[in-house]
Amino acid sequence: MSRWSFAARLFAVAATALLLMMAWQTFPLIQAELLGMRAKPREITPRGDLAADEKSTIALFESRSGSVVFITTVQQSVNPWTGNSQQERSGTGSGFVWDDLGHVVTNYHVIEGATEALVSLTDGRSFRAALVGASPENDLAVLVIGVGVDRPKPLPLGTSADLKVGQKVFAIGNPFGLSSTLTTGIVSALNRNLQVTQDRTLNGLIQTDAAINPGNSGGPLLDSAGRLIGVNTAIYSPSGASAGIGFAVPVDRVNRVVPRLIVSGRYVTPSLGIRTDPKANEALSARLGLSGVFVLDVEQDSAAEKAGLVPARLTRDGGFALGDVVLAVDGQAVESPEDMTRALENKSPGDRVVLRVLRGGKTVEVRVTLDVAR
């Protein structure tokens, strides 16, 4: 091979490499130019009709979200350097319209310690709220706002006595300050107890896996018919964010407490001073074929102890000795602890009630003067 032939080949290889490199560098520009001439928006694929459950969820949110409000609280503080009093935003939460008079229901812990509360509606209007009453033991509070025209509609009321685990539920609120947020889930459990502070335990709560986060507190929990069945009150989470375990105050309790708060500003719970348990009551009733409220324990120095009510006890051989079984309160038959609560809801501490009690196979009447719940 001659020297000139080798040089020609080397030149050809170098030229080819250079052309390939130039083509590689300019290809994106050529491609972009071609696409710019030919690219256009793609055709939209028709979706078809929404699923039935999607339609019902959308309708529920659109018809109920206007009744849910955003609550911002303000707390008075003193500047340690100047001594001047100043107002600081202390928290946010949710609430909902209770009636046509401008009453708004929320959690007690949403407004606890606040000196002022601002209620914002979904249409953008905001109103300064006045505190009507509060029940810390039920974590409920009532505010009132002066809405002159275009008042939001009160939420329709449901019942919590017939709830079943597995029912669909819907929570509307303002988590992390994000207004009008809808989350969905199911009733995960019933009659849950939750210690919220060292001195305060909420009993008989609805547990749900609907996402409930800080800011959802005080908002409504709705059933699939859009009826109020609970007030979202707390979450169980090490991180403070939703972990699929949320709790709500059942609406039957809300419907007992709120009217009292509106009328008198406070709710004093009357008590017999006996301890009961819904699940144990149901099991004992089925096992023994008895309908009533089983007295599992009697609180010390309570109205029940003073009246001589007899609690159940464990025997030396590990057995179970039945105590008193309350059959009726003032002639109103009771078959569960919830029945007894309803029978006492219109009573006040100091009132005397007559209990019909099954004791040792015989029916007796016991008169009890109600005490303040502890």
Residues noted as catalytic: 109, 139, 217
DSSP H stretches of helix in 315-372 = 337-344
* CB count in 10 Å sphere of residue 229: 27
* 230 vs 140: CA distance, rounded Å: 11
DSSP class of residue 314 equals E
Given a contact cutoff of 8 angstroms between Cβ atoms, the answer to whether 140 and 254 are in contact is yes
Asked whether 292 and 322 are in contact (CB, 8 A), the reply is no
Question: What's the Cα-to-Cα distance from 152 to each of 46, 69, 101, 102, rounded to whole Å?
Answer: 36, 9, 10, 9
User: Using CA atoms, how far apart are residues 348 and 268, in angstroms rounded to an integer?
Assistant: 7
Burial of 327 (0-12, 13-18, 19+ CB in 10 A): middle
Angstrom distance (rounded) from CA 106 to CA 157: 15
Q: Are 72 and 116 in contact (CB under 8 A)?
A: no
Residues 333-363 as b/e (b if ≥16 CB within 10 A, e otherwise) read ebbbbbbbbbbbbebeeeeebebbbbbeeee
Q: Using DSSP, state whether 263 is helix, strand or coil.
A: helix
